[in-house]
């Protein structure tokens, strides 16, 4: 299942691990192209970036652009963020002109692609989405608004994948591509510690351990603490935990840790000092 997510305002600040980000590249991307042109350009912050452009509004042929192999690490769901510009077809008067492009991917356990393998067609490639522009550029126009789309690739199995962009009559520029996955960060709660967790479904159950100087009671209640990690990289709801501080320790920082209780030092020696001091 491949889903286009258009609202990126809150999504972009969630915890993630980036696998590829062309905005950070300063030299040739070394992508395979037929016949996209790689150029140096400026992003919205006037930083130098590598871009790809193509303009074939008079041809119905398919023109492909493929990334390098992208290891997916522990993720089975990846997000692809694409920033691009697209020329308006109305002013070109070309019947094959389009204002969309297609995104494909090909899964592989190793970097095995060549200029001719896999074949440049759907099956062996898997189509992720047809991507349409929300903002179109006009020839001679002053407005230079770009488009930003986010797509989700689910159920990935291979050790990595290639992304491929297919243009059929578009006049466009690919400004930036970022590939990442969501993960829930390490968390302490209810005297339990939960590790960094990568969700593989709507929610992923994470097993935790009691923090230092905390234990679970004996018997049937002695289940390891657990918590749910959501697909967006955020922990869901309260944890299921029976961890409690050991005798002689008390809660510290709310329910984050167990610390030694204050203890009494008896005054030693002669004299009339019989009180005690709390430390």
**Segment 165-205, tens digit of pLDDT:** 999 999 999 999 999 999 999 999 999 999 999 999 899 99
With 90 as the cut, is the pLDDT of residue 9 above it? Answer: no
Q: If phi over 0 gives left and psi between -120 and 50 gives alpha, with beta otherwise, what is residue 186?
A: beta
**pLDDT above 80 for 32:** yes
Q: Which range is least confidently modeled, 45-59, 133-147, 220-234?
A: 133-147
| Average model confidence (pLDDT) across the chain | 87
Indicate if the pLDDT at residue 80 is higher than 70.
yes
Position 270 confidence tier, pLDDT thresholds 50, 70, 90: very low
More confident residue, 250 or 268: 250
pLDDT of residue 13: 57
Please provide the distance, in angstroms rounded to a whole number, between the alpha carbons at the two ends of the chain: 61
The pLDDT of 19-40, averaged and rounded, is: 91
* CATH 1.20.120.550, domain 16-182, yes or no: no
pLDDT surpasses 80 at 123:
yes
Query: For residue 98, what pLDDT is reported?
Result: 95
From residue 89, give the alpha-carbon distance in Å to each of 57, 132, 171, 179. 8, 13, 8, 29
Q: Is the pLDDT of residue 248 over 50?
A: yes
Q: Which band of pLDDT confidence, cut at 50, 70 and 90, is reported for residue 26?
A: confident
CATH 2.60.120.260 residue ranges of the chain are 16-182
pTM of the model: 0.82
Pairwise CA distance, residues 190 & 35, whole Å: 57
Residue 197 contacts by C-beta under 8 Å, 6 or more apart in sequence? 183, 184, 204, 206, 229
> Is the pLDDT at 48 greater than 60, yes or no?
yes
Q: What is the pLDDT of residue 274?
A: 43
Parallel/antiparallel/unpaired status of strands 63-66 and 160-167: antiparallel
Residue 128: phi and psi, rounded to 5, are -90, -45
Structure tokens at 99: 């204002």
The whole-number pLDDT of residue 269 equals 43
């Amino acid at each position: 299942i491949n889903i286009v997510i258009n609202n990126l305002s809150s999504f972009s600040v969630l915890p993630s691990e980036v696998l590829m980000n062309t905005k950070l590249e300063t030299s040739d991307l070394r992508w395979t192209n037929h016949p996209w042109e790689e150029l140096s350009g400026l992003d919205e912050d006037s930083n130098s970036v590598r871009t790809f452009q193509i303009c074939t509004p008079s041809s119905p042929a398919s023109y492909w652009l493929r990334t390098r192999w992208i290891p997916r690490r522990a993720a089975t769901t990846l997000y692809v963020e694409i920033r691009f510009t697209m020329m308006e077809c109305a002013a070109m008067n070309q019947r094959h002109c389009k204002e969309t492009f297609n995104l494909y991917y090909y899964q592989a356990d190793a970097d095995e692609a060549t200029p001719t393998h896999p074949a440049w067609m759907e099956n062996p490639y898997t189509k992720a989405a047809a991507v349409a522009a929300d903002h179109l550029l006009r020839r001679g126009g002053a407005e230079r608004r770009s488009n930003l789309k986010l797509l989700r690739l689910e159920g990935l199995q291979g050790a990595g994948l290639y992304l491929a962009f297919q243009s059929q009559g578009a006049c466009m520029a690919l400004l930036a591509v970022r590939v990442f996955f969501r993960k829930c960060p390490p968390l302490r709660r209810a005297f339990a510690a939960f590790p960094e967790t990568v969700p593989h479904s709507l929610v992923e159950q994470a097993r935790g351990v009691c923090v230092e100087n905390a234990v679970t009671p004996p018997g049937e209640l002695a289940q390891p603490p657990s918590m749910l990690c959501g697909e967006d990289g955020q922990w869901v709801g309260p944890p299921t935990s029976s961890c409690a501080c050991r005798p002689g320790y008390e809660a510290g920082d709310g329910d984050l840790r167990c610390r030694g209780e204050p203890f009494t030092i008896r005054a030693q020696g002669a004299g009339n000092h019989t009180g005690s001091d709390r430390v």
